């Protein structure tokens, strides 16, 4: 701990010790003066803070100041009852308030205590209690708003984390203030009880032991008690006022003084109306001078405010135009225009309610689930999905863009549901024929009244937000390899490094660069392989990067290491029916490989390639007619190059090598691709 920490710790310990151990009267005067100074400091600070969290230690300060007042109260009570004297500060305060009259002084003191207890302290306690309850109730909504801003790209992860932290701190602060306000209330009650004890016990001691007369005892001990009470109750009143100011602070951009001047004295019409009312009071039998003086003051204030507002309204348009022109001239303002959002979802105005939480829309929440789903299934960090309304689109149309380029679009019917026949549904539905946008399945738009009938008949029924979310999810999965940049790779590697430091330190950058690892991950994602098991991927790259740095070959090694996951992902039936390559075709492909500086490619005659594709097409159609998913199995060394050939027929064909299939899985060949 530093010196300041030690001083605070010793000070708190000393406060507790003072309760038990007597201290000199001179020290009592100093501590009482310090108590008043500390209360003033807290009051002024509470007026200058812009928001409650700027004074986050306030609940703890309330406890400490309450302890200080109670310890000083006990100390002064000891001196009042034992010596009939409590120092010059208390004596001066007592004489000043009482003005030689014990009854009047006691009544004034009683009024101060009641005001502090019944008005300020009780009000502050209630406000703190309500603020704590409302803050806790509002936390879920605020968290959802942060998630919505995060998904739309208005804020980044760091800003979202800071805002969540602030919300948590606010809840903790108001919860602590709710409890700390009880300290102030208890202190006020203790002050009243100590005052009564001092008067009664002092009177008894003065008459019975000190030999004073009744009047002398009343005068002496009332003066000391009132002085003691004032010295402790005035700081308590100041701190109670500070407590009320802190807990009643609403949304504001400035301190209390600035807000009072800005919000009370900014309407010239109000000032002129007040001036007229005060002038009317001045010509009635009421005292003339005070009302006329204030009427003139408000009149001058109103005229001054009106003149200032007129000048501002004349100057403001010119200033705004100049500022806008100057802003446009700045070269750095072109930079934001160069940014391209990785993923955009644009929609017409008819779809706006789906994105508006106040109208029951949950599209923002679904975007959060999309990011979670992609992280679990593919192991990727989906970038922020930018939502934009576009008046150029049809009202119920939406467009999905990847890196600023439109990939696909769709239309929905608001207040309708999409019904699809999974193959086992019976009957027919009344509705509008359409096509499910994500998978291209035939479907119908049906009304709410038809929904129960459709579900009872076995149709799959989904609402418009689910349609958009499913379509967006499939597009993200299909184009995940385009979204995988070097920065994303670094985030994934940093995540692995937290628990596998040795692995990452060995691989990056000694054996492979971020760019080379990125190419491997892109190759995997392009064929729909999950990269969630980054540890296995990096372990394989570390093992084989010493043999070759060809990213295509490294990808094949990684695929073999992920064999069980690939098998589980693509082979769902047992035995699985597949198509294999003819041995002579595999040998032909191997013999045609050409190596260049930019990589290895297949060099075959166009007629031969066309013959291979025709044979492949027939076998694929054969599998489809059997109700099987088309899977082609090849030798490991041929898989990559045959995959590139097959892309001329379809990008979605699943090409596996024998080494990628789990040995425990049974496969059945139902066709052979040959030349």
Same domain, 113 and 227: yes
| 165 shares a domain with 64 | yes
* Of 428, 455, 481, the domain-final residue: 481
Instruction: Among 452-456, 474-478, 499-503, name the one with the lowest average pLDDT.
Output: 452-456
Specify the CATH number for the domain of residue 609: 3.40.50.12790
Mean pLDDT along residues 486-512: 92
pLDDT confidence of residue 612: 92
Beta strands in 523-661 (DSSP E): 576-581, 593-596, 599-602, 631-634, 654-657
Residue 2: helix, strand or coil by DSSP? coil
Q: Mean pLDDT throughout 578-585?
A: 92
| In a domain? residue 342 | no
**pLDDT of res. 562:** 94
Q: Which residue has the higher pLDDT, 413 or 150?
A: 413
CA-based nearest residue to 62, from 167, 227, 168, 186: 186
With a cut of 60, say whether residue 277 has pLDDT above it. Answer: yes
Please, which pLDDT band fits residue 1 given cuts at 50, 70 and 90?
low
Q: What Cα–Cα distance (Å) separates residue 211 from each residue in 78, 82, 222, 606?
A: 19, 14, 17, 128
- E strand or H helix that includes residue 99: none
Q: Is 339 helix (H, G, I), strand (E, B) or coil?
A: coil
C-alpha 184 chain-centroid distance: 33
The CA-based angle 64-67-68, given to 5 degrees, is 90
Q: What are phi and psi of 401, to 5 degrees?
A: -120, 145
Residue 367 binned pLDDT confidence (cut-offs 50, 70, 90) = confident
Q: What percent of the chain has pLDDT over 70?
A: 86
pLDDT band at 325 (very low <50, low <70, confident <90, very high): low
Q: Residue 602 pLDDT more than 70?
A: yes
For 592, residues 6+ apart whose C-beta sits below 8 A from its C-beta are: 602, 603, 604
Q: What is the CATH number of the domain that holds 505?
A: 1.10.8.540
End-to-end CA distance of the chain: 81
- 54 and 190 in one domain? yes
Average confidence (pLDDT) over 300-315: 75
Q: For residue range 336-354, what is the model confidence (pLDDT) as tens digits?
A: 667 888 999 998 888 888 8
This prediction's pTM: 0.57
The answer to whether residue 169 sits within a structural domain is yes
End of a domain among 444, 461, 481? Answer: 481
pLDDT at 334: 60
* Mean pLDDT, the chain, whole residue set: 81
For residue 106, which of 1, 208, 192 has the smallest C-alpha distance?
192
Q: For the segment 79-119, what is each residue's pLDDT rounded down to a tens digit?
A: 777 777 777 777 777 776 666 566 776 777 777 777 766 76
Q: If we measure between CA atoms, which residue out of 402, 466, 416 comes closest to residue 438?
A: 466
> Which residues fall within 8 angstroms of residue 178, CB to CB, at 6 or more apart?
128, 129, 131, 132
pLDDT score for 331:
55
Q: Residue 305 — very low, low, confident or very high, per pLDDT cuts 50/70/90? A: confident
Q: What is the pLDDT of residues 605-641, one digit of tens each?
A: 889 999 999 999 999 999 888 888 899 999 998 999 9
Q: Is the pLDDT assigned to residue 490 strictly greater than 80?
A: yes
Answer with the one of 466, 481, 496 that is the final residue of a domain: 481
**Residue 336, Cβ neighbours under 10 Å: how many?**
7
In a domain, 1, yes or no: no
**393 and 492 co-located in one domain:** no
pLDDT > 80? residue 153: no
- 673 lies in a domain? yes
- Nearest CA-CA partner of 128 in 118, 116, 136: 136
380 and 449 belong to one structural domain: yes
Tell whether 67 and 113 lie within a shared domain: yes
Calpha distance 560→566 (Å, rounded) = 9
The whole-angstrom separation of Cα 307 and Cα 413 is 56
Same domain? For 625 and 517 the reply is: no
pLDDT digits (tens, 9 = 90+) for 2-53: 676 777 788 888 888 887 788 888 888 888 888 888 888 888 887 777 776 7
Residue 318 has pLDDT above 60, yes or no: no
Rounded to whole angstroms, the maximal C-alpha distance in the chain is: 130
- The answer as to whether 334 is a domain residue is no
Percent of residues, the chain, with pLDDT higher than 90: 27
**Are 62 and 180 in contact, with CB atoms under 8 Å apart?**
yes
Q: Do residues 430 and 458 share a domain?
A: yes
Contact 393, 399 (CB under 8 A): yes
Same domain for 531 and 579: no
User: Pairing between strand 432-435 and 593-596?
Assistant: unpaired
| Mean pLDDT value of segment 206-214 | 69
- Let me know if residue 124 belongs to a domain: yes
Instruction: Name the band, by pLDDT with cuts 50, 70 and 90, for residue 289.
Output: confident
**Beta strand pairing call for 667-673 and 576-581:** parallel
Instruction: Report the alpha-carbon distance of residue 508 to residue 537 in Å, rounded.
Output: 13
116 and 254, same domain (yes or no): yes
Query: From CA 228, how far away is CA 7, in angstroms rounded?
Result: 28
pLDDT for 217-229, tens place per residue? 767 777 777 777 7
E-strand ranges in 384-509 read 385-389, 397-402, 405-411, 417-420, 432-435, 442-446, 460-462
Residue 638: give the domain boundaries.
574-675
Q: Which residues contact 352 (CB under 8 A, 6 or more apart)?
A: 389
Residue 14 in any domain: the answer is yes
Cβ neighbour number for residue 225 with a 10 Å cutoff: 30
Residues 377 and 312 in one domain: no
Name 213's Cβ contacts closer than 8 Å, sequence gap at least 6. 207
Q: Per-residue confidence at 578, pLDDT binned at 50, 70, 90?
A: very high
pLDDT band at 322 (very low <50, low <70, confident <90, very high): low
Tell me if residue 598 falls in helix, strand or coil: coil
Considering the domain architecture, whether residues 72 and 149 belong to the same structural domain is answered as yes
Beta strands (DSSP E) in 476-630 are: 576-581, 593-596, 599-602
Helix 25-48 vs helix 256-264: angle between axes, to the nearest 10 degrees? 50
| Total number of domains constituting the chain | 5
Average pLDDT score over residue span 255-267: 64
Report the CATH number that the domain containing residue 414 is assigned in CATH: 3.40.30.60
DSSP-assigned beta bridge partners for residue 110 = none
* CA-closest candidate to residue 467, choices 443, 499, 496: 443
Band of residue 251 on the pLDDT scale cut at 50, 70, 90: very low
Quote the CA–CA distance of 416 and 466 in Å, as a whole number: 12
CA distance 140 to 247: 21
CA distance 622 to 629: 10
Mean pLDDT of 456-472: 90
Q: Is 668 among the domain residues? A: yes
Q: Evaluate whether 436 touches 420 at the Cβ level (below 8 Å).
A: yes
């Amino acid at each position: 701990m530093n010196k300041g920490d030690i001083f605070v710790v010793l000070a708190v310990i000393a406060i507790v010790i003072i309760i038990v151990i007597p201290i000199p009267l001179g020290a009592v005067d100093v501590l009482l003066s310090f108590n008043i100074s500390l209360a003033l400091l807290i009051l002024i600070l509470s007026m200058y803070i812009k928001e409650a969290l700027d004074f986050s230690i306030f609940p703890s300060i309330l406890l400490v100041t309450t302890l200080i007042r109670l310890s000083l109260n006990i100390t002064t009570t000891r001196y009042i009852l034992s010596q009939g004297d409590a120092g010059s500060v208390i004596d001066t305060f007592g004489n000043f308030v009482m003005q030689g009259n014990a009854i009047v002084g006691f009544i004034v003191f009683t009024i101060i205590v009641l005001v502090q207890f019944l008005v300020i302290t009780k009000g502050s306690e209630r406000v703190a209690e309500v603020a704590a309850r409302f803050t806790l109730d509002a936390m879920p909504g605020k968290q959802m708003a942060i998630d919505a801003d995060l998904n739309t790209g208005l804020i980044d992860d760091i800003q979202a984390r800071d805002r969540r932290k602030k919300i948590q701190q606010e809840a903790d602060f108001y919860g602590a203030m709710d409890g700390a306000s009880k300290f102030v209330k208890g202190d006020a009650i203790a002050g009243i009880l100590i005052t009564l004890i001092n008067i009664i016990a002092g009177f008894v001691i003065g008459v019975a032991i000190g030999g004073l007369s009744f009047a002398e005892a009343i005068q002496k001990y009332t003066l000391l008690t009132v002085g003691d009470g004032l010295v402790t109750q005035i700081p308590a009143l100041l701190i109670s006022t500070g407590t009320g100011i802190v807990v009643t602070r609403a949304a504001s951009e400035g301190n209390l003084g600035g807000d009072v001047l800005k919000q009370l004295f900014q309407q010239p019409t109000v000032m002129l109306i007040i001036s007229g009312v005060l002038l009317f009071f001045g010509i009635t039998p009421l005292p003339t001078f005070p009302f006329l003086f204030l009427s003139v003051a408000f009149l001058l204030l109103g005229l001054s405010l009106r003149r200032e507002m007129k000048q501002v309204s004349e100057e403001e348009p010119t200033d705004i135009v100049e500022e806008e022109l100057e802003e446009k001239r700045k070269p750095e303002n072109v930079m934001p225009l160069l940014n391209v959002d990785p993923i955009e979802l644009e929609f017409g105005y008819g779809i706006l309610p789906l994105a508006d939480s106040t109208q029951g829309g949950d599209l923002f929440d679904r975007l959060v689930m999309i990011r979670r789903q992609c992280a679990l299934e593919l192991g990727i960090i989906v970038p922020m999905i930018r939502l934009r309304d576009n008046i150029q689109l049809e009202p119920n149309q939406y467009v999905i863009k990847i890196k600023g380029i439109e990939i696909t679009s769709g239309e929905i019917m608001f207040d309708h549901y999409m019904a699809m026949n999974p193959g086992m549904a019976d009957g027919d539905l009344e509705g509008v024929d359409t096509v499910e946008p994500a998978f291209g399945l035939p479907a119908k738009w049906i009304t709410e009244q038809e929904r129960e009938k459709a579900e009872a008949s076995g149709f799959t029924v989904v609402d418009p937000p689910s349609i958009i979310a499913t379509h967006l999810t499939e597009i993200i999965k299909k184009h995940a390899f385009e979204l995988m940049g070097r920065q994303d790779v670094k985030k994934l590697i940093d995540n692995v490094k937290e628990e596998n430091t040795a692995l990452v330190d060995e691989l990056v950058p000694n054996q492979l660069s971020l760019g080379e690892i990125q190419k491997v991950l892109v190759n995997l994602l392009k064929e729909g392989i999950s990269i969630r098991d980054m540890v296995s991927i990096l372990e394989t790259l570390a093992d084989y990067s010493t043999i070759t740095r060809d990213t295509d070959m490294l990808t094949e090694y990684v695929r073999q290491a992920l064999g069980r996951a690939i098998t589980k992902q693509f082979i769902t039936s047992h035995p699985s029916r597949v198509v294999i390559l003819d041995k002579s075709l595999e040998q032909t492909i191997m013999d045609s490989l050409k190596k260049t500086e930019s990589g290895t490619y297949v060099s075959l005659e166009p007629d031969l390639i066309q013959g291979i594709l025709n044979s492949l097409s027939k076998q694929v159609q054969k599998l489809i007619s059997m109700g099987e998913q088309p899977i082609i199995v090849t030798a490991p060394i041929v898989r990559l190059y045959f995959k590139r050939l097959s892309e001329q027929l379809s990008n979605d064909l699943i090409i596996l090598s024998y080494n990628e299939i789990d040995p425990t899985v049974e496969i059945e060949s139902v066709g052979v691709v040959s030349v």
